[in-house]
Amino acid sequence: MVSLSKATAPTRENLIKISIGMSKQEVINIMGTKTKEAYYHGGLDKWAFSTINNPYRSEIIQGKGKTLEVIYYVTDDKNNDGAISDDELTPLVFDEGKLIGWGWSFLQDNVQKYELRMR
39 within some domain: yes
| Helix (H/G/I), strand (E/B), else coil: 76 | coil
96 within some domain: yes
118 within some domain: no
Q: Which domain holds residue 86?
A: 2-113
CA 27 to chain centre: 12
98 within some domain: yes
User: Are the CB atoms for 90 and 75 separated by under 8 Å?
Assistant: yes
pTM, whole model, 2 decimals? 0.89
Question: pLDDT of 7-44, one tens digit each?
Answer: 788 899 999 999 999 999 999 999 999 888 776 666 66
119 within some domain: no
What's the domain count of the chain?
Answer: 1
Nearest to 71 by CA among 52, 55, 47, 95: 55
Question: pLDDT of 48-68, one tens digit each?
Answer: 777 888 999 999 999 888 999
